[in-house]
Amino acid sequence: MSIYDRAITVFSPDGHLFQVEYAQEAVKKGSTAVGIRGKDIVVLGVEKKSVAKLQEERTVRKICALDEHVCMAFAGLTADARIVINRARVECQSHRLTVEDPVTVEYITRHIATLKQRYTQSNGRRPFGISALIVGFDYDGTPRLYQTDPSGTYHAWKANAIGRSAKTVREFLEKNYTDEAIATDNEAIKLAIKALLEVVQSGGKNIDLAVIRRNQPLKLLESKEIETLVAEIEKEKEDEAEKKKQKKST
């Protein structure tokens, strides 16, 4: 196996591109990010990385705006993400100036995915070690959520997770993403927090949340707001447990 994973451009006899698959392992080393597409809102939640004591917290960000109406969260190699984000930002502005319209979420996702794919097919270069969740609203008002991975594939999702415990979070979302769960903006945000709380240790203070509402710019929630929402969720959970207990005893 090892002789087929040296150069990126070599297929193995059974059709694997090992460097791309190994790049996907690098993504799993990043902390979890979750994206939820609501009716009038899109939500991105990330597990905050623990920051060194002397480090400025502001400079360790997993959620970045690509334009006023599009933002992304990534998981994987920090430096690779910076390059991808810069290229995407330039493309967003170039698009605005060239065709006088903001990019659609699909367009910018396709641009990022094409960039990533190019790096899986050139010699001497390794793939980008990041997966991205890209959310935003198109100018016709439709909310969108896309996910890209190191191989350069991209798909639209209703809700998805990437990073360290993505599988657990995705299973939670598959069970709990219902129309009534995303009925209101607040409910969609709480679903994102609930999904992250499945895998984040020590609760609300390790969660960062960003939302985009239709025709409004990106908003990063403050930690106080997140703590309030976490407290609400905890209370709901307790009420649920109480009700169950009462049901059992009657």
Partner 1 sequence: MATFFGEVLSVYSRAVEEDDDDLDDENEDERIHREIEEKREVHIVWCPEVAQSLEDSGSNTLQCSDLIIAVGTNAAGFLSAYVLNTESWDAVGHVSLWNERSRGSSRQSIAPLPGEPACLFYRHRDNPAVLVCQSTCYIAEDQLFQWTEKVFGCLQKRGLSVMVLSDSPVAEYKTPDYLYGSAVPFLRSLKSSASKGQALCPALEQPNILTGLPAAVLSHCQVHQIPAVLYQCYTDVISPDSITMETYKPALLCLSKLVKLEPCLSADVLRKFAIITEAQSNLYT
Which residues of this chain interact with partner 1, rule CB under 8 A?
Answer: 25-26, 28-31, 49-53, 55, 60, 62, 74-79, 81, 167-168, 201-202
Q: CB-hemisphere CA count at 13 Å for 59?
A: 5
β-bridge mates for residue 103, sequence order: none
CB of 196 to partner 1, least distance (A): 15
Q: How far is the CB of 78 from partner 1 (least distance, A)?
A: 4
E strand residue ranges, 106-241 = 130-137, 143-148, 154-156, 159-162, 207-213, 219-220
Q: Please, what is the minimum distance in Å from the beta carbon of residue 168 to partner 1?
A: 8
Query: 119-150: b or e for each residue (b if 16 or more CB lie within 10 Å)?
Result: bbeeeeebbbbbbbbbbbbbeeeebbbbbbbb
Grouping H, G, I as helix, E, B as strand and the rest as coil, residue 35 is strand
Smallest distance, Å, CB 238 to partner 1? 22
Residue keyed to tokens 């960039």:
115
Which one, 25 or 101, has the nearer CB to partner 1? 25
Q: Nearer to partner 1 by C-beta: 202 or 249? A: 202
Whole-number minimum distance, CB 49 to partner 1, in Å?
Answer: 6
Decide whether 13 or 141 has the Cβ nearer to partner 1: 13
- Nearest to partner 1 of 168, 184 (CB atom): 168
The tokens 């087929």 sit on which residue? 4
| Residue number with CB closer to partner 1 (104 or 151) | 151
Taking a C-beta distance cutoff of 8 angstroms, is the pair 193, 47 a contact? no
Long-range residue pairs from 172-179, CB within 8 A, at least 24 positions apart, any chain: 172/198, 173/34, 173/36, 177/36
* Smallest gap from residue 81 Cβ to partner 1 (A): 7
**What is the Rg, in whole angstroms, of the alpha carbon atoms belonging to the chain?**
19
Q: Which is nearer to partner 1, 106 or 203 (CB)?
A: 203
